[in-house]
Amino acid sequence: MSNRPIVLIGAGGIVESAHLPAYQKAGFEVIGITDLDRQKARRLAKQFNVPNVYDSTQQSIICAPENVIFDIAIPASGLVDLLPIFRNGSTLLIQKPMGENIKQARRIKQICQQKHLTANVNFQMRFTPQVIEARQMISQGALGELHDIEMRVTVYTPWHLWDFLEKCDRVEILYHSIHYIDLIRSFWGDPNGILAKTTKHPKMMNMASSRSNIIMDYGDIKRANITTNHGHEYGLRHQESYLKLEGTKGAIKICFGLLMDYPKGVVDSFEYRVLESQEETEWISKEIDGTWFPDAFIGSILNMMQPEYTGEQMDCTVEDAYKTMACVEAAYQSNLSGTVSADL
């Protein structure tokens, strides 16, 4: 197994909770880290045995070997200014979202193409062990023809853990539901269109939005729905965080425990039910090794190092990520365009 060294640009909460634990678990070599807050970078370097703390991104570029992968974990607003400083031909793993709007996403794609950067966007939900298992079952025909994808999230999200989001004009779809939009695209490709409504919560008025309903249009047979509510403060009992995949022969339901009772989380679950010879079977629970955090982050960077990891190379390039950003932009445009009056 031939792995490449990693340098982290950014030392925020997601790096501490997911990136570095993932790379440590996988045995990857993280050779350096940098952050505007050098104290934070030093603390993580000590915690995860990272040998070098760089004063700046520029210094990390100068010191890095040619085969390094730069893992960029900074706010989306800074990407357009940061990317031009990398050497032509560099390899980058960029955190989602790919900019704060479609204009920035378009510029990021242009910069990567002009500088011949090998650049992926870290839509790591594609690489959760449970999703990989579901893909395998679907490819083997266990579900028949997949015709229904539903993602439902009813949780209480402590937004204060990401205080920069309070200054953002777009939050829920751009920073959270984008995961689900991208995941659905990874199954079915680009939709015909998007219908969406995203709203504030009366107890989270400092956030641009914290609840969304999104319909991705794939025609008259396939249904793709995303429903999120991050203000469910009534305890764990009725919190939900699941992906449901239904086909003509069977169904899968995946519970992502990470989002429930966050940041403690609960145990993930994977259940499936298959109709055999027109006879109903019971739902069956299956143990799947690994979780969204940190294991999916292993998959994202392995997809760049070793495409055979998932059996096929998952297209997570900036070109493909731009299409997800286009769906996000369409969702916001749909939100602004309003509804049809029922007073007819």
Domain segments of the chain: what residues?
6-125+297-314, 126-291+327-337
Q: How many CB atoms lie within 10 A of CB 298?
A: 23
**Interstrand relation of 193-199 and 211-218 (parallel, antiparallel or unpaired):** antiparallel
Same fold, 6-125+297-314 and 126-291+327-337: no
| Tokens of residue 271, six digits | 């259940």
| Tokens of residue 303, six digits | 């997809």
CA distance 180 to 184: 6
In CATH terms, 126-291+327-337 corresponds, of 3.60.9.10, 3.30.930.10, 3.40.710.10, 3.30.360.10, to: 3.30.360.10
pLDDT tens per residue, the chain (344 residues)?
Answer: 468 999 999 999 999 999 999 999 999 999 999 999 999 999 999 999 999 999 999 999 999 999 999 999 999 999 999 999 999 999 999 999 999 999 999 999 999 999 999 999 999 999 999 999 999 999 999 999 999 999 999 999 999 888 889 999 999 999 999 999 999 999 999 999 999 999 999 999 999 999 999 999 999 999 999 999 999 999 999 999 999 999 999 999 999 999 999 888 999 999 999 997 566 678 999 999 999 999 999 999 999 987 655 545 578 999 999 999 999 999 999 999 988 889 88
Crossing angle (nearest 10°) for helices 102-114 and 318-337: 170
**Residues paired with residue 229 on neighbouring β-strands, in sequence order:** 154, 211
166: number of CA atoms within 13 Å, CB side? 9
Kindly report the pTM of this predicted structure.
0.95
> Helix or strand or coil: residue 340?
coil
Q: How many CB atoms lie within 10 A of CB 73?
A: 20
In CATH terms, 6-125+297-314 corresponds, of 3.40.640.10, 3.20.10.10, 3.40.50.720, 1.10.3210.10, to: 3.40.50.720
Which amino acid is residue 147, in one-letter code?
Answer: H
